[in-house]
């Protein structure tokens, strides 16, 4: 038995290293995203910053989102700020800021994403305020103490957000498609661990097309038409593609953990 193990140890180590490289991805290495909170008795000030940890200029697109979910319902509102910046080597910049009510009891997720010119996600940070029991094991939870300051409790260093769908549309048909897709996403209780992005882009002859991403992976795209029946069919197709991709990612994750 000992001889058998020695013969296979090289293969086992090689497999583990390769699968880890394939199915895991490092963020905040080239460019670091950071959310800072400052609180008083009335407001919490949210500031998102980006730090260039490389020796070259970095052209970035940033997106600071504040998701608010009511305690008594599943409605989610999204206040989003976005723009572009260029960072010199070793430079840090505040990219966006906003404020929220310090006395708000709703569950609030603050998410900062940094993309490069190829729309690859390089940096991300998130904080949850008024988190629930699920958050304590999976997210950074921010709790207000008696002096109304914000205390961060980092129990898990990984990013784990469920059921987040981000809208990046430009036209009414694009927004209509997003509403149909998101309604199906909620209705079927998909609640995926990865962020889903519905993005509208300019195409040929001033047309636009919809691209649906799960994390960085494009899973579905189509050219827009303003007919409701057409958008309904496409939203059903998009949901199927998203669900199948989420299941595939989950299976891959379980396979890596098993080995």
* Domain CATH for 118: 2.60.40.10
The pLDDT tens digits for 21-72 are: 333 357 889 999 999 888 777 888 899 999 998 889 999 999 998 887 766 5
Residue 215 is encoded by which pair of tokens? 């994390």
Specify the residue for token string 């799960």.
Answer: 214
Residue 256 has what pLDDT? Answer: 58
Residue 9 lies in a domain: no
Tell me if 43 is assigned to some domain.
yes
pLDDT at 120: 87
Domain that holds residue 71: 31-153
User: Do 85 and 187 fall within a single domain?
Assistant: no
Query: 200 with 168: CB under 8 angstroms?
Result: yes
Structure tokens at 36: 């800072």
Last residue of a domain, one of 153, 185, 216: 153
Q: How many domains does the chain have?
A: 2
Backbone angles phi, psi at 108, to 5 degrees: -125, 125
Which pair of tokens denotes residue 77? 């509102």
**204 shares a domain with 251:** yes
Rounded Cα distance, 226 and 217, in Å: 26
Q: Where a domain ends, among 153, 185, 214? A: 153
- 99, 132, 153 - which closes a domain: 153
* Among the listed residues 98, 157, 160, 158, the one whose alpha carbon sits nearest the alpha carbon of residue 131: 160
The per-residue pLDDT for 48 is 92
Q: In the prediction, which pLDDT does 14 show?
A: 37
Cβ neighbours for 197, distance < 8 A, ≥ 6 positions apart: 165, 166, 168, 212, 213
Spatial contact of 243 and 196, defined as CB atoms under 8 Å apart: no
User: 189: Cβ–Cβ under 8 A, 6 or more apart, which residues?
Assistant: none
Q: What is the pLDDT of residue 102?
A: 75
Distance of alpha carbon 61 from the chain centroid:
14
Rounded to the nearest 10°, the torsion over CA 21, 24, 30, 34 is: -160
> What residues of the chain score a pLDDT lower than 70?
1-25, 70-78, 131-162, 254-259
């Amino acid at each position: 038995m000992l001889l058998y193990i020695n013969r296979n140890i090289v293969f086992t180590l090689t497999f583990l290293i390769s699968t880890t490289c394939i199915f895991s991805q490092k963020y905040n290495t080239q460019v670091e995203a950071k959310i800072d909170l400052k609180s008083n008795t009335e407001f919490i000030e949210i500031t998102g910053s980006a730090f260039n940890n490389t020796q070259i200029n970095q052209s970035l697109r940033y997106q600071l989102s504040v998701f608010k979910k009511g305690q008594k319902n599943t409605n989610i509102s999204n206040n989003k700020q976005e723009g572009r910046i260029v960072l010199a080597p070793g430079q840090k910049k505040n990219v966006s800021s906003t404020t929220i009510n310090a006395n708000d009891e709703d569950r609030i997720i603050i998410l900062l994403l940094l993309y490069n010119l190829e729309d690859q996600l390089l940096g991300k940070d998130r904080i949850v305020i008024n988190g629930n029991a699920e958050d304590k094991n999976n997210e950074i939870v921010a709790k207000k103490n008696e002096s109304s300051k914000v205390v961060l409790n980092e129990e898990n260093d990984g990013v784990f957000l469920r059921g987040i769908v981000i809208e990046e549309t430009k036209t009414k048909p694009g927004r209509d498609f997003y509403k149909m897709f998101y309604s199906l996403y909620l209705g079927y209780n998909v609640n995926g661990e990865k962020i889903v992005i519905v993005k509208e882009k300019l195409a040929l002859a001033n047309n636009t097309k919809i691209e649906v991403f799960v994390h960085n992976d494009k899973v579905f795209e189509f050219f827009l038409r303003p007919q409701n029946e057409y958008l309904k069919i496409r939203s059903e197709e998009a949901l199927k593609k998203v669900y199948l991709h989420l299941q595939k990612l989950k299976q891959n994750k379980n396979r890596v953990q098993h080995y």
